[in-house]
Structure 1
């Protein structure tokens, strides 16, 4: 298995510099592929506008706009067309921020920067929305039209367009590929690789033990990746933090290892979560893995995770806090009546 992973790494690990923009645009025109970018967002007003502006300026202007002065607030704004849409000769055709219930100005900031903003509860209203990132990603398939869908987390700092063009590029130039994830360094404090604690402590051991074919993925839980719609619509989506691991494992079984790839896009800087938030994330990922290991086996119950907070008045000085772990999974989108009707139309 180690030899197989090594061969995959050699064949399917790239750099964003491998594919110049001109070659990507030529491949996109030749194939007629449409590209949608989705930013799932919850209270990200500080960073979402900058990400949207970079994508609009560098990937949606068909090469017309260069440099900071060409952003949506300038006289070039008309080159982009309506909010969320691009000029005809652009890498990205559609940019959607899917707001999952923000209480700050995330939606207003994203719209002002030029994204089409869709609120989670407006999508598939007959099915009450559940909290969680995976829920938003799943619903985004109903409000986007791209043949390739690229997901980007909305909390990235110092955002580069390489996060999008890097993962979209291999899908445009190699028809055998179906899902491409970004890989990068994740600094934390003075440690240049100290981020990704849940990856190192939970996800990587799980993958090495149970899905060793996926052991070559540098950032298996990373939120920046692109996939063909024809693959995404076949996969179930865990509604919470387990979505990235679930999609990766299911893509392996559905499409095969050689249909998966990764691209080095440099450095990823973002807002780091608290230790307790990481604990909840780890529990959801563990359950997502268990579910995939146990299919056809024993019955699973909905788990809870108990954590502790220091409270002076509590016995022993610590108070327990229990959290229900997201375990619901949405079915493949092609099984949803509204989606099938839209595809048929």
Structure 2
């Protein structure tokens, strides 16, 4: 690990326990805070998450927004009844051609929120705790030089305290260490819980698929530098595990996101566009079925370049 990164780890890593709500309320001042939950078919968890935020974080959170990403269940209704303001992803900036994926929901949330600090959290977390929000808010409310705070945590799976996070360990971490070693100190670079200053988030593009977290790390590093980042240990986090097949699609999108940034930064020369198709196999009675699906990702420009009215 680079010496610069080791120093950053010591200086800029904290624990959620370091940020009690009373201290953050005192530090908040006139800063406004928006919390955004991108959600697709998350009726089982989104209501509880909204309820915890409303009950326990009311002095800190000025607006709580759920972006419903084409749910086929009643996620939107559950979220609204729990007290969130709900927006349908495709109804935000309707003059733009709709794109797919988590990154699209996050980017569009910037058009319907107003907080000086924007907190993003996944809507599929089990046993949600308010500290997941408090932790990533802490560095931003306490230190004006921090632009972006990323959560990290254990990922329990099948009895192992860190059995989750397979895409991180097999895809994202090797890519980061190879090509962006200044980011090698992030324990969970793909974590869905993070917060940023609107002034920075609106100045960078958003990848539209599962590459959004990697893209934000790379682009904000270029914009603000490593010392503008903070990392907060949030303890443990559990959500419904994905199948290996689904993780393959996520991995492909993260690799496409990395490819786009390597090309943009002049680290590789591309003579052809990488394929956005992924072939996978399932055992069937006669051998194997071939499943081919689109894993291509798009990119939205910085929100500052978009007229929202």
Alignment-derived partner of residue 8 in structure 1? 8
The match for 1:142 among 108, 111, 116 is 111
Structure 1 residue 327 displacement after superposition: 2.2
Alignment-derived partner of residue 304 in structure 1? 277
Alignment-derived partner of residue 300 in structure 2? 330
Matched-pair contact (CA < 8 Å) for 2:13–2:231: yes
Alignment of 1:60-75 (within 5 A): 60=58
Matched-pair contact (CA < 8 Å) for 2:35–2:65: yes
Q: How far apart, CA to CA, are the structure 2 residues paired with 1:318 and 1:19?
A: 52
Matched-pair contact (CA < 8 Å) for 1:239–1:327: yes
1:142 alignment partner, SS class = helix
Task: Verify: 1:120 aligned to 2:89, yes or no.
Answer: yes
Alignment-derived partner of residue 76 in structure 1? none
Q: How big is each residue's C-alpha offset from its partner over 1:99-123, in whole Å with a ceiling of 9 and x where there is no partner?
A: 0110111111111111111111110
Q: How far apart, CA to CA, are the structure 1 residues paired with 2:260 and 2:216?
A: 13
Alignment-derived partner of residue 108 in structure 1? 77
Alignment-derived partner of residue 35 in structure 2? 37
Alignment-derived partner of residue 226 in structure 1? 195
Task: Verify: 1:154 aligned to 2:123, yes or no.
Answer: yes
2:152 alignment partner, SS class = strand
Q: TM-score, normalised by structure 2?
A: 0.96
Q: How far apart, CA to CA, are the structure 1 residues paired with 2:216 and 2:144?
A: 20
Q: How far apart, CA to CA, are the structure 2 residues paired with 1:5 and 1:209?
A: 14
Q: How far apart, CA to CA, are the structure 2 residues paired with 1:53 and 1:143?
A: 21
Q: TM-score, normalised by structure 1?
A: 0.87
Alignment-derived partner of residue 52 in structure 1? 50
Q: How far apart, CA to CA, are the structure 2 residues paired with 1:23 and 1:196?
A: 32
1:40 alignment partner, SS class = strand
RMSD: 1.1
Structure 1 residue 309 displacement after superposition: 1.3
Alignment of 1:203-222 (within 5 A): 203-222=172-191
Q: How big is each residue's C-alpha offset from its partner over 1:109-161, in whole Å with a ceiling of 9 and x where there is no partner?
A: 11111111111111000112222000000000000000100000000001000
Matched-pair contact (CA < 8 Å) for 1:302–1:327: no
Q: List structure 1 segments (4+ residues) > 4 angstroms apart after TM superposition.
A: none
Structure 1 residue 304 displacement after superposition: 1.2
Q: How far apart, CA to CA, are the structure 2 residues paired with 1:127 and 1:16?
A: 39
Matched-pair contact (CA < 8 Å) for 1:305–1:323: yes
* Structure 1: stretches of 5+ with no match in the other structure: 61-89
Alignment-derived partner of residue 179 in structure 1? 148
Alignment-derived partner of residue 21 in structure 1? 21
Higher gyration radius (CA): 1
Matched-pair contact (CA < 8 Å) for 2:20–2:134: no
> Bigger shift: 282-291 or 12-21?
12-21
Q: How far apart, CA to CA, are the structure 2 residues paired with 1:318 and 1:225?
A: 40
Q: How far apart, CA to CA, are the structure 1 residues paired with 2:297 and 2:99?
A: 11
Q: How big is each residue's C-alpha offset from its partner over 1:259-307, in whole Å with a ceiling of 9 and x where there is no partner?
A: 0111011110101111011000001001100111112542534421111
* Structure 2: stretches of 5+ with no match in the other structure: none
